[in-house]
Structure 1
Amino acid sequence: MSKENIQSIVDRYIDVSFSVTKKEEALMTKELGSEITQDQHYILRYIYRVGSCTSTELAEAFEVKKSAITAIINRLWEKGFIKRTRDEKDRRVVYLTLTEQGEEFFQRIEEKINCLIEKLISKFEPSEMEQFIKTYEKLNQMLIEIKDNQIDHL
């Protein structure tokens, strides 16, 4: 492939990636409303799926500093969505779980987001959607490998 063709693909990728990300964020923000941010939603989603975790685990999963996670956790705790429970054997360890209110809230907003995503994916043929997801998963795996290789070279 020529340098011009590669540059054209790079430009298209960057342009569409930026456009899709911004539009997706705007639609998600509209669905979430003013009660919760996207970052808070992703944290609630993670805790909902795993059941219980620590802030260190969250920081690692979201690839951010623990202080950033702590700020989000504090806001979710203030809203009554998260419960903190100290480990009985090691009081330094704090487990995070959703409260009943947090679980109900998460399920309510998740339903809104699922409806939004369903509207989008219904515009595609099933085979197109399957290929898109496979390609997106492949891109994610490649990015993980690149990140891991960069860490190995430090």
Structure 2
Amino acid sequence: MNVRKINDSLTDIYFHLHYKHEEALTHQNIRCMQMIKKQKEATVKDLSEVLDVTHHTASEHVKRLINKNILQKERSTHDKRIVYVKLTPYGEEVLQRNTELDEGKLEMILERFTAEDQERIIDAFSILRAEIKQVYSN
């Protein structure tokens, strides 16, 4: 029952407070971008493992996102054989719009709470985030 309540709350929060999506992207496109953002130095091989797809399929996702100016490739400075996939500045903006809450809307809602209640909300999310990172860290 608690799981259902949390899921209902989070989906309502995202539904009402998300940014307007301007780009036509797949769920796998977004997952690629999130992984690149979180891992910092991601390769096509890393993406294929996270998405559970072949190297070729991951490479095709990367090519499409490069063509949309969302991703770029960059050779490692330490080992020229390694090629990393990076978000472009535009890709950073696209990822924010497709995964984060609209800060203006969120600010407007938070202003309706007391400072104490705002801190309680922040603390609850921080506790949940810390536990998630501990359980699902690679």
* Whole-angstrom CA distance in 1 between matches of 2:50 and 2:7: 21
Asked if the contact 1:82–1:98 (Cα under 8 Å) also holds between the matched residues in 2, the reply is yes
Asked if the contact 2:36–2:85 (Cα under 8 Å) also holds between the matched residues in 1, the reply is no
Deviation readout 1:17-66 (Å, 9 max, x if unpaired)? 1212322343466622444467628936963x88x53247x76xxx9346
Map 1:7-46; keep pairs closer than 5 Å: 11=1, 13-27=2-16, 31-36=20-25, 40=30, 43=33
* Whole-angstrom CA distance in 1 between matches of 2:34 and 2:132: 24
Higher helix proportion (structure 1 or 2): 1
Structure-2 residue corresponding to 1:8 = none
How far 1:67 moved relative to its partner? 4.1
**Are 2:50 and 1:64 aligned?**
yes
Structure-1 residue corresponding to 2:75 = 86
Structure 2, gaps ≥5 residues long: none
Structure-2 residue corresponding to 1:7 = none
Length, aligned pairs only: 132
Q: Which amino acid aligns with 1:64?
A: V
How far 1:144 moved relative to its partner? 3.8
Change (3 A) 1:64 1:107: closer
Deviation readout 1:79-114 (Å, 9 max, x if unpaired)? 1121111225424422233335435x4498499821
Q: Which amino acid aligns with 2:4?
A: D
Q: Which secondary structure state, in structure 1, belongs to the residue aligned with residue 86 of structure 2?
A: strand
Structure-2 residue corresponding to 1:53 = 41
Asked if the contact 1:83–1:96 (Cα under 8 Å) also holds between the matched residues in 2, the reply is yes
* Whole-angstrom CA distance in 2 between matches of 1:24 and 1:53: 31
How far 1:119 moved relative to its partner? 2.6
Structure-1 residue corresponding to 2:114 = 125
* Bigger Rg, structure 1 or 2: 1
**Are 2:123 and 1:134 aligned?**
yes
TM-score by length of 1: 0.56
Question: Alpha carbon RMSD of aligned pairs, Å?
Answer: 4.4
Asked if the contact 1:29–1:37 (Cα under 8 Å) also holds between the matched residues in 2, the reply is no
TM-score by length of 2: 0.60
Map 1:85-124; keep pairs closer than 5 Å: 85-103=74-92, 105-106=93-94, 109=97, 113-124=102-113
